C-alpha cells in the first residue's frame, strides 16, 4: 500500500514550528523553575480532584477545560505562589489534562491508561502558554513573567503570528523556546513535472524507483560515547545508593539524599548531551534529505509500513528506530 504526497502550491495560512535557544540569567532561571513547578502542581491537584470525583460517582458529568479553569481562581487564593506563572500556561495544563481523560475514555483497545501524576524528578521540564510575545532588538524577546530574555536570532519571527509557545529545559541544561506560528505566505516551489516512488529500508533509508539510494543516518560514534557514560552513571548511582543507606543505618543527623551527589548528576547530563547530539543530527539529516526530495519531485509515493509491528523483531528494532521512518514520512 502506498500513500501519495502532493506539493501544496497555493495555501492561505499555514502553521509552522520554530525553535529558538534561550539564555536566561540566574533570576530568570529561578523564575522558570517556579513556573515549571506550578504547572506540575496544578496538574497534580486537578488530577487528584478528578480521580476522587470519578471514584465517588462514575456517573457524574465530565469536567471540561472551561470548568477546570473556573477552579484556578480559588486555587490561586489558597496557593498564592501560582500567581508567579503565566495565567495562560495554567489554562493549557487544564486543556492537556482534559484531553488525556478524553483519550482514556474513548480508547477501546485498552492501550491508553488513565492520566498519571507528574514527578519533579523528570529531567525534561516545560510549560506552554498562549500569551503575547514581543520581539526587542535582534537578540531579545519579552516573555510574560520573565521580562526581556536573550535568545538566538529572531529574524525568523518576522511577518508571523505566534499562536502558542513552549519553554523547555532539556536534560542537557539548555533552555529552548518552541513557537507555533501562523504564516500567511508559505515558501513555494516550482513545478518539475517529475514523480517518484520511495521504498524505505534499514541500511538504505530511501530507495527511489529511479534507482537512487540514500543511506540511513549513522549514529554509531555518539552511541559509543553515550554507552560509556551510561556505565559510569550506573556505577556512580550504585555507590550513591550505598552511601545513602549507610547514613540511614548510622542514623546521621543530616543524612545525604540521592540528589546531593553531583558526580551522578554530571554523568546524567553527559548521557543526555550525547543523546541530544544524536537526535539533532538525525533530524538535520532528515530535514535536508526530505527538502531535497520535495524540491525535485511533484508527486511522491511512499511505502506504507506498520513500524510498530516490525519493531517486535528484536534483531531489527534498533536499526528501524535509528532510521526514523515515521519522522521521514512526516517531513
160 shares a domain with 22: yes
What is the number of other CB atoms lying within 10 angstroms of the CB of residue 68? Answer: 21
Q: What is the pLDDT of residue 10?
A: 46
Q: What is the pLDDT of residue 45?
A: 92
Identify the bridge partners of residue 175 per DSSP, sorted by sequence position: 22, 169
214 is a domain residue: yes
Helices (H), 258-324: 262-296, 307-310, 317-323
Cα–Cα distances in Å, from 60 out to 63, 64, 197, 300?
A: 9, 12, 52, 50
1 is a domain residue: no
Closest CA relative to residue 82, chosen from 43, 137, 131: 43
pTM of the model: 0.77
5 is a domain residue: no
Closest CA relative to residue 31, chosen from 169, 138, 164, 180: 169
What is the number of other CB atoms lying within 10 angstroms of the CB of residue 44? Answer: 17
205 shares a domain with 84: no
Identify the bridge partners of residue 19 per DSSP, sorted by sequence position: 178
204 shares a domain with 179: no
pLDDT tens digits in sequence order for the chain, 331 residues long: 455 555 444 446 788 888 899 999 999 999 999 999 999 999 999 999 988 887 888 777 878 888 888 999 999 999 999 999 988 999 999 999 999 888 888 887 778 888 889 888 776 789 899 888 888 878 899 999 999 999 987 888 887 888 899 999 988 889 999 988 888 777 778 888 888 888 887 777 888 888 888 888 888 888 888 899 899 999 988 998 888 888 888 777 777 877 788 888 888 888 888 888 888 888 898 999 888 998 888 888 887 766 655 555 555 556 666 667 788 888 8
148 shares a domain with 72: yes
Domain end (from 183, 214, 244):
183
20 shares a domain with 65: yes
CA distance 50 to 97: 10
**C-alpha grid cell for residue 232?**
559510569
Domain end (from 162, 183, 204):
183
308 shares a domain with 198: yes
Closest CA relative to residue 265, chosen from 186, 172, 175, 155: 172
**C-alpha grid cell for residue 12?**
492561505
6 is a domain residue: no
171 shares a domain with 87: yes
Burial class (CB in 10 A: 0-12, 13-18, 19+), 244: middle
How many domains is the chain partitioned into structurally? 2
204 shares a domain with 154: no
202 shares a domain with 178: no
CA distance 178 to 124: 14
7 is a domain residue: no
Q: What is the pLDDT of residue 54?
A: 79
What is the number of other CB atoms lying within 10 angstroms of the CB of residue 302? Answer: 19
Contact criterion met (CB below 8 Å) for 135 and 154? yes
Domain end (from 132, 159, 183):
183
Closest CA relative to residue 35, chosen from 125, 132, 135, 116: 125
Q: What is the pLDDT of residue 17?
A: 85
Residue 251 DSSP SS3: coil
Residue 49 DSSP SS3: helix
72 is a domain residue: yes
Q: Which domain holds residue 148?
A: 14-183
Q: Which residues in 69-228 belong to E strands, given as ranges?
A: 125-129, 134-136, 140-143, 147-151, 160-169, 175-183, 195-200, 204-208, 213-215
Enclosing H/E stretch for 236: helix 220-250
153 shares a domain with 27: yes
274 shares a domain with 127: no
3 is a domain residue: no
Amino acid at each position: 500500500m502506498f500513500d501519495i504526497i502532493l506539493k501544496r502550491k497555493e495555501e492561505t495560512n499555514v502553521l509552522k514550528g520554530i525553535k529558538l535557544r534561550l539564555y536566561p540569567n540566574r533570576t530568570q532561571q529561578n523564575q522558570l523553575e517556579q513556573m515549571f513547578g506550578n504547572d506540575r502542581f496544578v496538574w497534580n491537584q486537578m488530577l487528584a480532584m478528578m480521580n476522587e470525583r470519578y471514584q465517588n460517582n462514575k456517573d457524574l458529568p465530565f469536567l471540561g477545560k472551561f470548568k477546570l479553569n473556573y477552579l484556578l481562581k480559588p486555587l490561586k487564593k489558597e496557593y498564592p505562589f501560582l500567581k508567579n506563572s503565566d495565567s495562560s500556561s495554567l489554562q493549557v495544563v487544564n486543556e492537556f489534562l482534559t484531553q488525556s481523560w478524553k483519550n482514556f475514555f474513548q480508547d477501546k483497545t485498552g492501550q491508553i491508561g488513565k492520566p498519571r501524576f507528574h514527578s519533579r524528578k523528570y529531567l525534561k521540564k516545560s510549560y506552554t502558554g498562549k500569551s503575547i510575545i514581543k520581539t526587542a532588538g535582534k537578540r531579545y524577546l519579552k516573555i510574560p513573567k520573565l521580562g526581556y530574555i536573550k535568545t538566538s536570532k529572531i529574524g525568523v519571527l518576522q511577518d508571523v503570528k505566534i499562536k502558542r509557545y513552549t519553554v523547555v529545559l532539556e536534560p542537557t541544561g539548555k533552555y529552548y523556546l518552541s513557537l507555533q506560528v501562523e504564516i500567511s505566505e508559505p515558501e513555494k516551489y516550482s513545478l518539475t513535472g517529475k514523480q517518484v516512488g520511495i521504498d524505505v529500508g534499514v541500511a538504505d533509508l530511501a530507495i527511489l524507483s529511479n534507482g537512487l539510494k540514500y543511506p540511513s543516518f549513522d549514529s554509531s560514534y555518539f552511541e559509543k560515547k553515550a554507552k560509556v557514560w551510561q556505565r559510569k552513571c550506573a556505577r556512580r548511582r550504585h555507590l550513591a545508593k550505598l552511601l545513602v543507606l549507610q547514613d540511614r543505618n548510622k542514623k546521621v543527623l543530616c543524612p545525604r539524599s540521592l540528589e546531593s551527589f553531583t558526580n551522578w548528576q554530571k554523568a546524567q547530563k553527559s548521557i543526555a548531551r550525547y543523546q541530544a547530539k544524536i537526535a539533532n543530527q538525525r533530524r538535520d539529516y532528515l530535514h535536508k534529505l526530505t527538502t531535497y526530495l520535495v524540491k525535485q519531485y511533484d508527486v511522491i509515493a511512499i511505502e506504507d509500513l506498520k513500524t510498530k509491528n516490525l519493531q517486535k523483531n528484536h534483531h531489527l528494532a534498533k536499526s528501524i528506530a535509528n532510521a526514523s521512518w515515521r519522522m521521514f514520512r512526516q517531513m
